[in-house]
A = this chain, B = another copy of it.
């Protein structure tokens, strides 16, 4: 992705959809623990995880949720979006190597405040829902295209 182009409030139609994909890598478990402070060993310690109902390390639920934020910010509506609210129901564990797809769908628009409600679903590579919920955003009024910034290299250990 080199450029990000947004959808303005007026361009967003009820029923419009967009997607965003991401695969869970081991580094994501460490980075998410570091940036959130959530050092639950279920996400970090294979031996501890083996003793739980999940049998292996799983993603932080909030990581799967953060992909919805990425989909809203990068794809639809994209740049200029202000994130107002989110509900999340964590339905299934996410394991290393799982590829998640965020599916956004415009559910409703509130004209006066330029607010848009999205149905937000995260599904795994088997098509099973891992997170369901809804987002509320203020959609941008002005059309814009931005160059996506390249992030600096991040080294672990």
What residues of chain A have their CB less than 8 Å away from a CB belonging to chain B? 1, 4, 20, 22, 28, 30-42, 44-45, 48, 52, 60-63, 65-70, 73-74, 79-81, 83-90, 146, 148-149, 151-157
Contact = CB atoms under 8 A, between A and B. Distances in A.
Contacts of A81: 40
Contacts of A39: 1, 4, 70, 73-74, 148-149, 151
Main DSSP-derived SS at the A contact region: mixed
B151 A30 contact: yes
A104 to B, nearest CB: 13
A20 to B, nearest CB: 7
Contacts of A73: 38-40, 42
